[in-house]
Amino acid sequence: MASKKTDPVAGEGTAKNEGIKGIDDLNFQPIPLKAARVSRPFDGYPMKKVTIGGTETNLCFVVALNPTVPVQQDPSNGKKRQKDGTFEQVLNTHARFIRDYEENENTEVVFDRVVEIGGKEYFCAIVPSHNVRAQLCFKYEDKNKRIVVDPNYLFLDTAQDQRLKRVFEQIINPKLRLEREASFISGESNVDTGEIQPLTEEEV
């Protein structure tokens, strides 16, 4: 006589449910919603207050242009005529347009604040956006495929360096993935990014 076949999906013929030893004090729970949030490297970072030119700001927001970086001067508007007929020398200031990925807009960082420290004058900018400061502090070398420090910019608060690096990694990670996908589609690369894991810190 042929044995009766059962359908395990329907639950026929399954073993009796049994408890799991050693976890009587535990309970099934969903993963906390905060686990899905993108990490914010500056959460909990100590913000020290300073005053620059009468403006109170956070120490980590202050960025200076390295004095060794030349600032192009336009001779056509290098002097401004005053009402009394004399001329006042007008110096151009260094400025950078950088994409603010939190606000999804381009922002101009202007180094027009003069700060004197140790007998030296520095042209500074106040940059509250962490991701904009990260793009001033670091840059990505396509040739060597690595993150490097941009020596053109100086910081009073250098303790934020690793947090800025994590912010920069978060910015370039999706960019590099898009570049890899474009290379695969164009035939320049045989690596399908849909089959590989996200970039690691070692890869960027």
pLDDT digits (tens, 9 = 90+) for 88-99: 666 678 899 999
The string of pLDDT tens digits covering residues 157-201 is: 999 999 999 999 988 887 666 655 555 555 554 544 444 344 443
**What's the pTM value of the predicted model, to 2 decimals?**
0.64
Is residue 41's pLDDT more than 90? no
The string of pLDDT tens digits covering residues 142-157 is: 888 889 999 999 999 9
Mean pLDDT in residue range 129-134: 95
The chain-wide mean pLDDT, for the chain, equals 77
Q: What is the model's pLDDT at position 54?
A: 83
Please spell the DSSP secondary structure of the chain, one letter per residue. Answer: -PPPP--GGGTTTPPPP-PPTT-TT----PPPGGGGSPP-TTTT----EEEETTEEEEGGGEEEE-TTS-----GGGSEEE-TTS-EEE----EEEEEEETTTTEEEEEEE-EEEEETTEEEEEEE---HHHHHHHHEEEETTTTEEEE-TTEEES-GGGHHHHHHHHHHHHHHHHHHHHHHHHHHTS----GGGSPPPPTTT-
